[in-house]
Amino acid sequence: MSQYREKLFAPARLNGLELRNRIIRAATFEGKCPNGYPGDELIALHREVAQGGVGLTTVAYCAVEANGRVKKEMMYMHEGIRSQVEALTSAVHQAGGKVSGQMGHCGNFSQNTDFRGFRPLGPSPMINLGGIAAGLPFAGAMSHKDIDHVVQCFHDAALFMKSAGFDAVEVHFGHGYGLSQFISPRTNRRTDEYGGPLINRMRYPLRALEAVRKAVGDEFPILGKMGLTDGIKGGLTTDEAVEVAGLLDDAGIDAIIPSGGTSSMNPMLLFRGDSLLPSMLELEKSAFMRFGMRVFGKKMFRNYPYEELYFLDGARRVRDRIKRAKLCYIGGASTMQSLETVMREFDFVQMGRTLIKDPLFVKNAMADPNYVNGCDHCNKCAAMILHPEGIRCVRNDP
């Protein structure tokens, strides 16, 4: 067995947490929370991944407050869901795995119409394209009080998650979500101490991180997913992203996961492979949204052919900048050869689509060095976030 294959499957520590191996199931919004309540299907999904042998599985999307959800079919961290969350975390533990939750706030692109008079808020006023059909066409700018409030929500959500059995949390600093809207110069046009130079644009994300650390204590692992680039005009560049990683490292984050792109403006940068557009058109219920997708779709869903390890160069730049934190590679690590390459240079690896195609991938790959999982990056699983039953690999359909 090569030393890198051995490293991949051997136990490893992440701050105070012992993992049975270095493979982490990436956060992939499951869409299995009807009306915001974590369903039995969500538990079954993570139980199966744990039975399949991953070291750590990540539950997505754990909104830090009700208004931090894109849609009401997402859960937010509060006492009303405790029993189901505890059932989920203990199901993973019983299967020998550990469980993390991706904490986030969607900021300016909410489509959630649960609360009358609610207006999505981000760093600066802007059109909320995804919210037009829901009657939320504009996003406003967060006041200092709004920022203080969401920072407190990060704290309270982390406290809730730790007490409900999560072994780690992953803070979402990327993909155009609320914290990255402040990091990106495209969406943050503020002139106060939360806008302008990167150190100011990082003020709110770093406050959120500090609040999470305060809630969970020094030994509890905090991972952070961030963007290597927004891939849009005027957005975050890799030069600045490397500094973002440095600031997160200095602030005491335990692991950095460098990804890229933004869900609302350039999603294909983070996936690569077949466009999501045709399947999303099929699944989108709103005629208005389908019309919008037809008009703006080509610009939004750009063509990025799939290749293995597509974030390798950017991840190396981040690795060279950070001093303390572990680096967790993500993006097109789906063959054993790629996983060994990753282990040569990084500490952990996150896998998304490979484990959607084959939740038992780890066991299968441990048993057979030549195992091939068969995901062809058709990306239909990603479009399934619009499906009422949530995500699945359609290639596995009988």
Ligand X SMILES: Cc1cc2nc3c(=O)[nH]c(=O)nc-3n(C[C@H](O)[C@H](O)[C@H](O)COP(=O)(O)O)c2cc1C
What are the residue numbers of the active site? 177
18 token code pair: 């012992």
- Residues with Cβ within 8 Å of 387's Cβ and at least 6 positions away in sequence, in order, are 31, 283
In the bound state with ligand X, the residue whose beta carbon lies nearer, of 174 and 195, is 174
Rounded to a whole number of angstroms, the minimum distance from the CB of residue 240 to ligand X is 19
- With respect to ligand X, which residue has the nearer C-beta, 67 or 195? 67
- Closest contact distance (angstroms) between CB of 60 and ligand X is 4
3-state DSSP call for residue 237?
coil
Amino acid at 158: A
Nearer to ligand X, 9 or 361 (CB): 361
Residue keyed to tokens 């869903």: 301
Shortest gap between Cβ of 128 and ligand X (angstroms)? 19
Residue at shortest CB range from ligand X: 352
DSSP 326-356: EEEE-SS--SHHHHHHHHHH-SEEEESHHHH
Beta strand residue intervals within the chain, DSSP E: 12-14, 17-19, 23-25, 56-63, 75-76, 98-104, 121-122, 126-127, 138-141, 168-173, 222-227, 255-259, 326-329, 348-351
- DSSP code at position 369: T
| Tokens 């996936």 belong to residue | 271
| Min CB(58)–ligand X separation in Å | 8
Taking the least distance from each CB to ligand X, the nearer of 34 and 196 is: 34
Q: How far is the CB of 173 from ligand X (least distance, A)?
A: 10
Residue 182 backbone phi and psi in degrees, to 5 = -80, -35
Q: At closest approach, how far in Å is the CB of 232 from ligand X?
A: 17
Site residues (vs ligand X, CB under 6 A):
26-29, 60-61, 102, 172, 175, 225, 259, 270-271, 330-333, 351-354, 381-382, 385, 391
The smaller minimum CB distance to ligand X, of residues 47 and 69, is found at 69
When the beta carbons of 36 and 195 are compared against ligand X, the nearer one is: 36
155 touches 212 (CB < 8 A): yes
Q: Determine contact, residues 387/282, Cβ cutoff 8 Å.
A: no
